[in-house]
Structure formats: C-alpha cells, structure tokens
Amino acid sequence: LDLRAGWTPAVAAFVVAVAYYLGARIGFALTFSPYPLAVLWPPNATLMAALLLIHRRHWMLVFAAVFVAHLLVQLGGHVSFSLCLFWFATNCVEALIGAGCILKMLGRAPDFGRIADVSVFLFCGALLAPFVSSFLDAGCVTLMRASPTGFWDLWRARLFSNMLAMITLVPFLLNCAYRWPGLIGGRLPERPKEAALLISGLLLSGMLVFDVPPQNGVLLGLLFLPLPFVLWTAMRFGPAGSGAAFTLIAFLVIWGSTHGRGPFLTGEASESVRSVQVFLTVFGATLLLLAAGVEESRVSARRLRSSEERFAAAFRHGPHAMLISRKASGMVLDVNARYLSLFGCGREAVVGRTIQELELKPGGDGMGMRLHPGHTPSGEYAETAALAGREVLVASEEVDLEGVACLITSLQDVTEQKRAEESLRRSDERFRLVLRATDDVIYDWDIVGDVLWWNQNGDIFFGAMSDPRPRNFDRWAQSLHADDRQRVTSTLMALLNGTDSICNAEYRLARGDGSHAYVGARGFLVRDERGRALRMIGSLHDVTDRKRADEANQRLAHVSRLAVMGELTASIAHEINQPLGAILSNTDAAEILLNEKDIPAAELRQIIEDIRNDIVRAGEVIRHMRALMRRRELAMQSFDLNRAIGDVLNLASADLGRHRVQVDTEFGPLPAVYGDQVHVQQVVLNLLLNGVDAMAALPNDRRRITLRTQRIEGGWVGVTVADTGPGIASEQAENLFSSFFTTKPDGMGLGLSIARSIVEAHGGTIRAETAATGGASFTFTLPGRPGQAETGRTTKDKEKEKENDNDNRNGCTCGG
C-alpha cells in the first residue's frame, strides 16, 4: 500500500486494526452453533492483506495496532490471557509466512490478473501459511487443554476455515485497495447496467440456492445456478469483479448455512461446515485462476491490437509512399495514402495490379527492375527511379506475410530535392566560373569571426608560395600603404558602424613581391536585422596602369604648357621690355625735369602715373605667365569670358603683329561663364597660335583671324576661332584632337588634345570644321552656371548637335 489518499502509517495501522476487530466479530457471527469454530476466520486474512500492502518497515506498527484489537476481541470471550497471546502469535505467524513468501517470490503484492501471481498466492498465502500455522495453533490449544477436541480435528478445522478466509478475503481486500481512490470517488464500474444486472442475478440465484430451508430439499443441480453469473463476471469484469462476486456468494452460502439454511446442512454440523468450506475453497480457487486467465488473454489481445493499430497507422499515414506487393507475382496488395497523393491516383488503379503495370522506370542507376518478380532484393537497398514523372528513392525489404513472401517498398519523393541539388550544383559551378573568369580579386570577410577569404586571384596578387594572403583584418590593414592606412581603415570602420551597405575606395595595397598596387575596392555589407555588420563581400580591381597613365597625362599636359610657354617667351620678353623701356625713358625725363629751376609738378606727376601704369602692365604679364606655367587643378569660378579673351589677345598681340595677322573680334553679350579662367585662356591661345601657323603661307593681307563669342541655347556660351588658312584636310579630321598628331615639322601635336581635355573637363565640346569659304573654324562651348556641366546638356543633346553639324557642314566634329 503506497498509502495513497494521504494515509500515514499510523492511520493505515489503525484501519487494519479496525478491520481485524470487525473481521473477528464477523468470524464469531459465522459459526455453526453449537459447533464452536468459525466457517471462515477473517482476521488472519485481513492481517495478511495488510502486510502485502504496507511497507515492511511499518509492520511492527501494524502488529502493535492489531494486538490491541486482538485483546479487545478475545478478552471479552472468556479466554485465558496466555491462550489469547498464543493465538495472536499464530495469527501473526500465518500472515508473516503468507505475505513473506509471496513478497519473496513476486517482489510485490500479487496481481490477480496474472495466472503466475494467482498460483503463488494460492500456494503460499492460501495453502502454505494456514497449513503451517495451524500446527502451532492446534498444538497450543491441545497443550493448554483449552478444547475438548483432538489435535487433528482442531488442526483440520482451523486449516479449512483459514484457507477459505484467505481465498475469499485476501483477493477482495487487495483489489479494493488497488482501486481505493476510485472506490472512494464513487466511480461507477464500466457498463453499470450490465453490472447491476449481474449483481441482481447473483443475489437472486444465490438466495434461491443458499437461502432456502433444508427440508425443502434443494436439488443438487441447482448448486450451479449462480455459476453462469460468476463466470460472466470473470469474463466481463476481470479479477476484481469476479472476486467481489465470489465474496458475495461466499457470504450468502455461509450466512445461509450458519442460519440453518441451504444445501450443505447434511446432518453433522462439523460435516456441514467442512462441506461449505470445501465447496467455497475449490470454487474460489478455480474462479481466481479463471479470472486471471481471462484477464491475461484480454491484456495480451489488447496489446496485440494496439500494436497492430500502431503499425497499421504507421503504414497508412507514414510520411513516405509505401506499397506492399507479392514477391512472386509482383501483385500489389496495399498502398498507403501518401502513395495515392504522391502519384495522384486512386487505390483501384494500383491495388490488384502488378508492379510491372505501374511502369516504374529505372533511374540512372538501373533501379526499378529489381522490384520486379525474379529480382530478389538482397535485404534493403535504395536507388532512384522515375514513376509517373516523379523521381523517387526506392527502398524495399522482403517480409513474410501469413506465409507468403512479400515486398514492402517505400518510395520517397526526391524530385524537389534533386532539382534543388541540380540548381545548387549549377550555381556552385557558375560561381566557380565567375571567380575564374574575372581578373578581380574577390574577397569574403566574415566580420564576426574575423576571417578573410580570397579567390584564386588573391594568390596571384598576394603571391601564393609563402601564403602571405592576409587572413584577417589586421593582416590586411598591414598590407595597406602607410600613407593610406589611416584613411582607409577609419572610412571602413565608419561604414561598419553606419547604415550604408556599399563601399567604394581606392588605395595602395602591398603585393606579394613587396611593390604596391593601386586597387579600386568595392564591397557589399551584409547586416543582420539589427543592422549589425556580419559579412563583407567584394572585389579588388588593379588600377595601377590607369593611375600611371593619368599621372603621365598630367605630366604631359604640364610639358605641353611649357612648350607653349617656350614659344611665348619671346613675345612676353618683348611685352615686358616695352614697359621697362617706357619706365626708363620716363625716369630719364623725370630726372631732367628735376634739374629745372621751377620743377613742373604737374608734369612730374603725369610721368610717375605713366611709370606706375607700365609697372602694373609688366606685373600683369608676369602674373599671366606664372599662372600658365603652374601645374594645378581646375579652379572653377564665374568670370567674364569676353574680357578673358581680350587679355589673351593682349598677351599674343606682339606675336600676331609679328606675323601680320589681323584679328577681328565679334563679342556678343554674354552671361558670366563658369570655369577655370586660365585654362580657358590657354585654349583660346592655342587656337589663335594654330591659326597663325596655318596662315603662314598666305600673303600678308589675307591673314585674318575672326574671334567670335555668342550665347547659345540653355545658358551655354560658344567661342569660335576662324582663320583664312587652308582649312582641315578630310583625312586629318579624325586625328586632329589626338595627342601627338601634327603636320608641322617642329610641332608637338599636343595643343588641340590639351584644348579638348580642358573643354571637356568643363562639360563642353569642341569641334573643328572647314568653312564653306575655306579656312578652319574651331568652336568650343562652356557652361554658364555651376552644375550645368552635368545637367545642362546630356550626351544625347551633344549627339544630336553632332548629327546636325554633319548634315549642314562638310566638316568634322569632336565632342566630349
């Protein structure tokens, strides 16, 4: 008894003592007067049931409580105290033998639903314990001369009454205890109507047989009247039901007999008692075994059924399509729901047909055929096959079903899986090919784990042999050029901590051989949902060659300016010489005036004024020269183009004059122009000097250059320099603006290419054409406002312009 329902050992012991006392009272009540022995002696059975239920460590408590109950029972009945003690001892011995042996053999209280447990109980509890203890009991009584009856009579009487008590009460009490919480909860038995019917049948038949006056002469055959009801209980209500039914019958039999009724009163009281005892003992023992047998087969049938149901459910609702077929004929016996849904067919289309008819086509590995009759699968195998357009993985196992060799086949749909594998393979291959096809170094930086991966080109860039590829951020940062490191790492850190996902940068990176390469780096940041940077993937493009070319171009532009300046030196010297000469003669004149008596202050002031003007002019010339010679970036600002061109004409006037070139200007009203004034002036100067060169062969009076400025649509400004020279030969038109293209023996071929670079840097275009009247005409455009270079005129506009020009003139253009 695990003392359920919160019973403490003390409460349990108390309950046992009360049951013991009541049992004794019932025992006394069920004696055949005048025969002194009880037909059935409940206290010992109660004690044995209690020992089976209560843990061994509380047994002493139980014995103590029961001893009190025993004294109360016996001392009221004029029995000597010592006999009372002996009886208590023999009762305890009997319960101890029974419970001890049962617990020893079973390790627990018996389960009356098992034949083995019932057998152990019958042998140890119902036979061995009363058998042994009755010797003690009868011996004591005989020795103390407490009974007129002989030893063997006493022994026999006690043995039978105790056997009957054990068989009748122990199973009943144990079954009640097993179901104790249910019993007090007042739970009705299953099938209450059937139970009520049975109880009424039992009561009625019992009373009819066992509670009738003996002189009525009960037919012996009628003894079996309650039997169907008892068997019915055993079959339908298990050991507990049949135990209760038997207890009821036993009570009726004993009650009837002790009250002088029933079929067992055959004369001698002792014989009647024996007859009742034998009848009930045999009946009870048989019933116990029968109920256990029924219960066992019911439990095993239930187990079998639930296991069958489990397997049937596993087959029917399994995640894979399954099919059972006869091995010999290939006939399909059953398929599951997944099979039908996978292949979209009805059961009748499969069951009853053969595997061959299902057209299971072998996959690449020759599978499918092996399921056909004559191909014995050696155990389990799995290969792919195609069935009704699906690719399936087939696994089959040979089994014996009711003596017939069958195959259980599972078909796992792997169509999607195969597709996914194929697409994965392709994308993998594509990725590898892309990595091979590109010249760029591709990197993948796991920011969290700080691991850098490089593609094959990384080996080439960094050098594969000694594996110097930077594998983490620090190593990579060390490879940066010292001048770039701070800038690049801080930009990168700002990017990681910011929200942008794309980064572009240009920096120098150490190659494997120690030299530095210029790389254009691109990167894409992968962030988690909280915006934390996890990974960066991108490429490094080696731009060293472009960088070098740019630098060379810059140097070239500088050199070309110097060359232009070389040509100008003479005229500049002349320009400066002239004001210097004027200053000298003015100072001479001033000196003479100072020697006069009356110094003419007004004249002197005029002379000083002239000197200042000449100095300012000389300073202007020098400033211009320095501006042109300085190598610098574009300094964009708004300026007055007409004035700037006027300055250029002033600068070149000496040269123009020397070559007898007449310059006509047609300056239109212009908005302010946005650009680098000095560079624009250089363009005009180059075009002017080219015109001068082109007209060298002409007679003096035909050397004319026209300089025209005008506003054109969209706020732009156009400048045209036209000469009267031979114009542009059509075969030269294409190369005119290319660097180093020249037709002059001492030319450098840089003037026009520089001019084009400058105009395009402003967002404008430059073109050359031969006018209908002969002579070359160069026109370039400049923006009127900041930002117009990018937005004002699109490439499309320029293309359109170019087309129009080609249509209208027999010339050539070159646009930016």
**Full 3-state SS string of 21-77:** HHHHHHHHHCECCCCCCECCCHHHHHHHHHHHHCCHHHHHHHHHHHHHHHHHHHHCC
Site for ligand ADP in 706-725 (CB under 6 A): 723, 725
The CB-based long-range contact list for 569-573 (8 Å cut-off, 24+ gap) reads 570/655, 571/651, 571/652, 571/654, 571/655, 571/658, 572/621, 572/625, 572/651
Q: Which is nearer to ligand ADP, 326 or 659 (CB)?
A: 659
DSSP letter assigned to residue 768: E
User: Residue 606 is inside which H or E element, if any?
Assistant: helix 601-629
Q: Which is nearer to ligand ADP, 400 or 731 (CB)?
A: 731
C-alpha span between 105 and 100 (Å, rounded) = 9
User: Is 736 near ligand ADP (CB under 6 A)?
Assistant: yes
CB of 754 to ligand ADP, least distance (A): 8
Site string for ligand ADP, 225-264 (x = CB under 6 A): ----------------------------------------
Q: Which is nearer to ligand ADP, 137 or 723 (CB)?
A: 723
User: Is 691 near ligand ADP (CB under 6 A)?
Assistant: yes
**DSSP symbols for 221-237:** GGGGTTHHHHHHHHHHH
Stretch that binds ligand ADP, among 327-335, 498-506, 676-684, 690-698 (CB under 6 A): 690-698
User: Residue 593 is inside which H or E element, if any?
Assistant: helix 544-595
Site for ligand ADP in 531-560 (CB under 6 A): none
CB of 726 to ligand ADP, least distance (A): 6
Stretch that binds ligand ADP, among 205-213, 240-248, 446-454, 689-697 (CB under 6 A): 689-697
The CB-based long-range contact list for 176-181 (8 Å cut-off, 24+ gap) reads 177/1, 177/49, 177/53, 178/240, 179/240, 180/4, 180/5, 181/4, 181/5
Q: Which is nearer to ligand ADP, 395 or 563 (CB)?
A: 563
CB of 753 to ligand ADP, least distance (A): 6
Q: Output the six-digit token pair for 642.
A: 């007409």
Site string for ligand ADP, 771-790 (x = CB under 6 A): -----x--------------
- Kindly report the backbone phi and psi dihedral angles of residue 680, in degrees, each rounded to the nearest multiple of 5, phi listed first: -65, -40
List, in sequence order, every beta strand (DSSP E) within 528-615: 533-542
User: Is 663 near ligand ADP (CB under 6 A)?
Assistant: no
- Kindly report the backbone phi and psi dihedral angles of residue 441, in degrees, each rounded to the nearest multiple of 5, phi listed first: -90, 125
CB of 751 to ligand ADP, least distance (A): 3
Q: Which is nearer to ligand ADP, 129 or 814 (CB)?
A: 814
Q: Which is nearer to ligand ADP, 73 or 661 (CB)?
A: 661
Q: Nearest to ligand ADP by Cβ — which residue?
A: 751
Q: Order across the sheet with 704-712: list the strands.
A: 662-667, 704-712, 716-723, 776-782, 766-770, 812-814
CB of 567 to ligand ADP, least distance (A): 10
Q: Which is nearer to ligand ADP, 36 or 774 (CB)?
A: 774
Q: Which is nearer to ligand ADP, 610 or 805 (CB)?
A: 805
User: Is 690 near ligand ADP (CB under 6 A)?
Assistant: yes
Choosing from 290, 583, 694, 707, the residue that interacts with ligand ADP (CB under 6 A) is 694
CB of 635 to ligand ADP, least distance (A): 24
Nearest Cα neighbor of 42 from 64, 59, 66, 60 is 66
C-alpha span between 515 and 464 (Å, rounded) = 15
User: Is 16 near ligand ADP (CB under 6 A)?
Assistant: no
Q: Which is nearer to ligand ADP, 488 or 752 (CB)?
A: 752
Q: Output the six-digit token pair for 116.
A: 């083995």
The answer to whether 292 touches 304, Cβ cutoff 8 Å, is no
Site for ligand ADP in 738-767 (CB under 6 A): 741-744, 747-753
CB of 762 to ligand ADP, least distance (A): 19
- Kindly report the backbone phi and psi dihedral angles of residue 723, in degrees, each rounded to the nearest multiple of 5, phi listed first: -120, 180
Residues lying near ligand ADP in the complex (CB under 6 A) are found at 690-691, 694, 723, 725, 728, 732, 736, 741-744, 747-753, 776
